[in-house]
Amino acid sequence: MVAKRNALGRGLSALIPEDLEKEDKNRIEEIDTNLICPNPIQPRKVFEHDKLEELTESIKKYGVIQPIIVRKEDNLYTIIAGERRWRACKSANIKSIPCIVRDIENKNASEIALIENIQREDLNPIDEANAYEYIMERYGITQEDVSNIVGKSRVYVTNIMRLTKLDKFVQEKIVTNEITAGHGRAILSLPKDKQIEITNKIIKEDLSVRDVEKLVRENKKIKTKKVFVKDKYITYVEEMLTDRFSTKVNIQSKKNKGKIEITYSNSDDLNRILEILKIEE
């Protein structure tokens, strides 16, 4: 009943026995939809209305082809995988749904829920990033572990998780498909107020990711010049020499080394300074 998937790393294949399909056929139960609860750690937070309606109509015509997976908790059942099917059944006023009841530990339940959604590739990037972050924080695992669980590269996981550092406004625009994850990554290095400003510009002007990358590079070039504060002693010597020569004197000093610049306005002024220094022409 549960189709085997490819490229899962240590995911489902490590959590479920090889003969699970045969066992599952004998373990399918029809369970009242009112006794079933959503998984509080469901990685997907946004369910697209149109797609849910399509699934509802399909279930009305053909029924639930693939059972959902649940875990029994007291007199209720918590969904491990298949929340969309359960929601569609509720929408279609179907009183019961075929379920496979599994007794597995919480970590495995989280992993299966995560894997099922990601392998179907219908999570938006922000929900996917939050799912990875949740798994890592809750169970103390690394990005490498996550990449093995979901069968994706470490670089992919790292790049997706960086999106959680974006301003919440920007994240919302990625969830609603007003900008892409690529746009989000392009503005990650900017302060959050600047992220919001450029996000609005992306939406208004329909900018490509390349356009945004160019904007970010230009933004980084506009830097406030650092205010260099001279050593008090150097400042004192400058003032003393300026008074001595009656002209501007600048001392550049770094690590006890440097140079003295004495300004003169014409040849007579130069000769005057040389006379003070008692240097013959």
Q: Burial letters for 234-271: b for 16+ Cβ neighbours within 10 Å, e otherwise?
A: eeebbeebeeebebebebeeeeeeeeeebeeeeeeeee
Per annotation, catalytic residue among 21, 54, 73, 83: 83
Q: Amino acid identity, residue 158?
A: T
Q: Burial letters for 146-162: b for 16+ Cβ neighbours within 10 Å, e otherwise?
A: bbbbbbbeeeebebbbe
What are 48's two structure tokens?
């697209």
CA torsion angle 215 220 221 226 (round to 10): 160
Residues 182 and 184: their CA atoms lie apart, in Å, by: 5
Residue 192 C-beta-side C-alpha neighbours within 13 Å = 9
Pairing of strands 76-81, 96-101: unpaired
Residue 83 designated active-site: yes
What are 213's two structure tokens?
């990358």
Pairing of strands 257-262, 96-101: unpaired
CB proximity list for 229: less than 8 A, separation 6 or greater: none
Do the Cβ atoms of 146 and 174 come closer than 8 Å? no
Q: How many CB atoms lie within 10 A of CB 11?
A: 21
Question: In Å, how far from its chain's centre is CA 24?
Answer: 37
Which positions are catalytic?
83
